[in-house]
Copies of this chain bind each other. A is one copy, B any other.
């Protein structure tokens, strides 16, 4: 690991600094070359830092922010009126080169709008997208985007998402020629809405991309595709409904084992094995979606992330800094868009 600095929006998310401060301390312990700038209200942060004996940590700096972006604030209102917010100042630090990346568990729409204006999109990209690696039957994650940054998307935007998703799969997981699919209500050629139909045509026409066709929702986790492209409304619903099922199933299995003394005893004795099965699908272990298509690194944590989950999001940002993700995506973009125009 090289020396690197992350700016954390310490006030964002459902649990705020009570969860983010210990997550930051944990990340610093784990990564000796990491420096963290905690952005938030000093009066709120100070006692929490003392509580975690971190007020004098040599690699932890507090940067005061007088405002907070509310979870239900409209993005444009946050952009105009919250210039002193923890989210804004964390992004400013990235823009000024004082931090290599930023992590926030705050309002997704506001983060996306501010990041787009402050950090700018890559050449050839109109809007950033939220991407994450979904668990699958294989060891390799399946990248899905957009997960909620863009509520409606035309075919050109879906095409750009496909290019970015492929670049991520190539850069992060060294996948040669990643298999790209469009999420749709059926696999047959005539299925879906106009946007999906036109995006399919754009992808078919681009020889540099390994487009394999439509997939339905039940194949998101099948491991037979590397990049899944959809608009932010659909992606958000697919991700969150999957989380809902995973939680419900874990509850049901635990409840069914708790019904008899013998199975309850077993479940307790072998809880680590059972939990390993259950937790492989636990959304808390897959926290952190990257806002890609920007010139810098921004990671969005789940709003209700706990400390372990927020630490995952920090680790994701570290990985992206180490691999110079925006540069890699740019190179791949240039290559595809240049080849396409020839």
Contacts and interface: CB of A to CB of B under 8 A. Distances in A.
A49 to B, nearest CB: 31
Number of copies: 2
Interface residues of A, number: 64
A220 B244 CA distance: 7
B185 A248 contact: no
Nearest to A190: B74
Interface in A228-278: 230, 232-234, 236-257, 259-260, 262-263, 266, 270, 273-274, 276-278
B243 A217 contact: yes
A277 B192 CA distance: 34
A260 B269 CA distance: 13
Majority-rule SS of A interface residues:
helix
Contacts of A108: 186
B221 A244 contact: yes
Nearest to A283: B218
A202 interface: no
A155 to B, nearest CB: 15
A185 B233 contact: yes
Contacts of A220: 241, 244
Contact of A193 (B71, B152, B216, B217): B152
A273 B257 CA distance: 7
Given A241-B238, A277-B256, A248 B233 contact: no
B185 A232 contact: yes
B263 A247 contact: no
B193 A248 contact: no
B238 A222 contact: no
Contacts of A189: 72
A219 interface: yes
A281 interface: yes
Interface string A148-181: 1001100000000000000000000000000000
Contacts of A273: 256-257, 259-260, 263
Given A185-B232, A257-B274, 17 more contacts: A72-B188, A74-B190, A137-B251, A148-B185, A216-B240, A217-B242, A218-B240, A230-B237, A237-B237, A245-B245, A245-B246, A249-B280, A252-B280, A253-B253, A256-B276, A256-B277, A260-B273
